[in-house]
Amino acid sequence: MLRYTVERVPVGSVLAASIYDGRGNLLMREGTELTAGHLELLRRRGVKTVLVDHPEFRDLVLSDPISPDLLREALRSYGEVAVWIRTKSSGTGSDFDWEPFRRMAKRLLEEVGSGAEHRCLLHATSHDQQLAVHCLNVAIVAVRLARDVVRPDQLVEVGLGALLHDVGRLVTDDGAGEIPSPLEPPTEEERQHPLRGLALIRGVGTLSAFAKVVVLQHHERQDGSGFPHGTRAPDLHPIAQVVGLADAYVSLLEARGGLPPDQAVEWVMTTAGREFDHRLVSSFVNHVDPYPLGVEVRLSSGEEGVVVRQTGVRTRPVVRVVAREGRPVEACYDVDLTSLDRQTTVIQWARPLVSV
């Protein structure tokens, strides 16, 4: 399977994964043969990307890191929070049932593995999924990192804090706003969302202090360059730092004009010892692939293709070549960048993961 923007999908392609809207409702079922009418319907519903079957990539499984049931539950839960915020009359979240988020955190901890096949991230197929999928991706990355740097009994709190870290954004939009890039100076609206989020959940007795400090501090940095208060180490909570690093990385990928994964990894590495703790950045490097499965790359040999397998050497995956010097090859073939005859071949660039 391969991921395409809707504009690039050839008519007649077969959908490789079902499509859901931002509330978890089924839009189109896996196995549908896509007609021009189907593609127009997807465009009208705001769907931007789809997974389709491809004869040359049937062995490439771009599976989501969590189950479809958990994804649908998350989309529904964020939708319910957004509706509640729009209709509530009080200023606290104590009259909303937040327990589904703790259940999701526990399920996420059970489902998220550490192998290469689990290191893909979710894609928001439409704008109304953006915030929910962003929070899920941050939780997925944060849980992986946290296994190295926090106590096992705190892992659920890492997941819960990550799932709720951007809840303050729902105060000003319905979850369909663009994900801000860490490369851009934060707007005043951006600086306020941690405070809005904390105000929303401060009085909720069923949410732990861990989750609340993550909501408040996920944009703070150990050198004092973050917001909303410019808090420095050692006054930053370690769990908030874990979620903050995961949020920065995922935002680099998902923001409009986002970075390719390898450049996002490089950016995170430059923050070690300044914005984030060295040990946390080291854990990040061990758990994130700079060239994840399915990413399009160009090699120094002029060959272009898609990463289809990890090798154990993060910067040298197996690439299935589909073109050379801009021209399609007669038959696709695999290049293992760890092989002796490819020692001098390197990846020149990778295409950004498709964002909406």
pLDDT digits (tens, 9 = 90+) for 175-233: 556 789 999 999 999 999 999 999 999 989 999 999 999 999 999 999 999 999 999 99
- Is 43 within the bounds of a domain? yes
Query: What's the angle, vertex CA 13, arms to CA 7 and CA 17, rounded to 5?
Result: 90
Instruction: Give the separation between CA 352 and CA 207, rounded to whole angstroms.
Output: 36
Closest CA to 218 of 167, 147, 267, 282: 167
Same domain flag for 120 and 225 = yes
- In terms of domains, do 48 and 76 share one? no
Q: Is the pLDDT of residue 333 over 50?
A: yes
- Structural domain contains residue 355: no
Average pLDDT score, the chain: 90
Q: Are 5 and 49 in contact (CB under 8 A)?
A: yes
Indicate the SS3 state at residue 77.
Answer: helix
Domain of 309, in residue numbers = 296-350
Q: Tell me, yes or no, whether 155 and 279 share the same domain.
A: yes
pTM: 0.90
- Both 333 and 247 in one domain: the answer is no
**Same domain, yes or no, for 245 and 343?**
no
Is residue 62 in some structural domain?
Answer: no
Q: In the beta sheet, which residues pair with residue 327?
A: 324
Residues 304 and 238 in one domain: no
Q: Which domain-ending residue is among 287, 312, 334?
A: 287
Whole-angstrom CA distances from 143 to 253, 264, 292, 295, 321 are 18, 19, 18, 23, 33
Please answer whether residues 337 and 319 qualify as being in contact, where contact means their C-beta atoms are separated by less than 8 angstroms.
yes
The domain total for the chain is 3
Looking at the fold, whether 111 and 209 belong to one and the same domain comes out as yes
How far CA 288 is from CA of 118, 130, 210, 261, in Å, comes to: 10, 21, 25, 9
Same domain flag for 142 and 272: yes
85-126 tens-digit pLDDT: 888 755 556 678 999 999 999 999 999 865 544 467 888 777
What are the backbone dihedrals phi and psi of residue 340, each rounded to the nearest 5 degrees, phi first?
Answer: -60, -35
* pLDDT band with cut points at 50, 70 and 90 for residue 68: confident
What are the φ/ψ torsions at residue 224 (nearest 5 degrees)? 85, 5
Looking at the structure, tell me whether residues 199 and 256 fall in a common domain.
yes
Q: Are residues 131 and 279 in the same domain?
A: yes
Are 330 and 275 part of one and the same domain? no
pLDDT, average across residues 274-289: 93
Select from 269, 287, 305 the last residue of a domain: 287
Cα 186 to the center of its chain, rounded Å:
20
